[in-house]
Amino acid sequence: MTTNILVIDDSPTVGNTVGWILTDYGYSVKVASDGLSALNALQTYKPDLILLDIKLPHVDGIELCKMIRDQTAYAATPIIMLSGISAQATIDRAQEAGANNYIVKPVRDEKLITVIQQELAPPASTLSTAREAE
């Protein structure tokens, strides 16, 4: 089964480059350039993970993250913020809005893929963890 990823970035260069990288790793990718097109994409494209920039036209990524989290269908979908902003206050705001992870651009392909794989991995079973502790 193919994993769907929605990339939301206002820069066509960044959005398409990230899309090509993810496609090379076997992911199915849709790119949106702003919040409105992202919300429209969510109506038909069911992503398993969302990569979201902060600086977007019309609505910033943090507000868009909140809007996505308010949709029942996407309440648990991993959202990774991918931004050039490295200020701790912004990272904290993103986490408060519901982001699962935050990556500062530029990012190496391998790091991006590692974080995506970690976010997509099923949660460890508490039962197996308890057994391992015995």
Q: What's the number of domains the chain is made of? A: 1
- Could you tell me the CATH number of the domain that includes residue 15? 3.40.50.2300
Element (H, E) at 29: strand 28-32
Per residue, the 3-state secondary structure of 83-108, as one string, reads ECCCCHHHHHHHHHHCCCEEEECCCC
What band does 125 get if pLDDT is binned at 50, 70 and 90?
low
44-67 pLDDT per residue, tens:
999 999 999 999 998 999 999 999
Domain enclosing residue 103, as ranges = 4-133
Confidence of residue 124 (pLDDT cuts 50, 70, 90): low
CB contact set of 9 (below 8 Å; sequence gap of 6+): 15, 18, 31, 33, 51, 53, 56, 82
User: Tokens 């809005």 — which residue?
Assistant: 97
Cβ–Cβ < 8 Å for 119, 103: no
